[in-house]
């Protein structure tokens, strides 16, 4: 079955960096678009970044453009989110997502940006 497992979250000071990872299994990873979403307390889940199966197309939410970078390693079945210049408003649970006939989500990883 499809499994997505996020890691790499934590507590970081404003201006700092984190790299999230999402290890995928149970499907042909290299064929599918992957996405990162986030959900802050009291807010709806929002799309942060998208990467096509061959990494040629990458899209970002306006709020993270120029600070976050999505990438993938198809040999390792893993998608990454490099987050730089972090701000308190980036605090959220970050989720990995793909659509393989149905929507699949990981369990999420908490990112807290605070001094």
pLDDT of residue 24: 98
The per-residue pLDDT string of the chain (115 residues; one tens digit each, 9 = 90 and over) reads 999 999 999 999 999 999 999 999 999 999 999 999 999 999 999 999 999 999 999 999 999 999 999 999 999 999 999 999 999 999 999 999 999 999 999 999 999 999 9
pLDDT value at residue 95: 98
pLDDT at 16: 98
The residue assigned the tokens 């042909």 is 28
* pLDDT digits 0-9 by tens, 95-114: 999 999 999 999 999 999 99
Pairing, β 109-113 against β 10-12: parallel
């Amino acid at each position: 079955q499809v499994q997505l497992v996020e890691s790499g979250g934590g507590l970081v000071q404003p201006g700092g960096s984190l790299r999230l990872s999402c290890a995928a299994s149970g499907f042909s990873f290299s064929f599918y678009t992957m996405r990162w979403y986030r959900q802050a307390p009291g807010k709806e889940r929002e799309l942060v970044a998208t990467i096509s199966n061959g990494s040629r197309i990458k899209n970002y939410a306006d709020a993270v453009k120029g600070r976050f970078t999505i990438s993938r390693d198809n040999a390792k079945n893993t998608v990454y989110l490099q987050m730089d210049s972090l701000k308190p408003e980036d605090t959220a649970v970050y989720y990995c997502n793909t659509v393989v006939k149905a929507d699949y989500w990981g369990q999420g990883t908490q990112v807290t940006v605070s001094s």
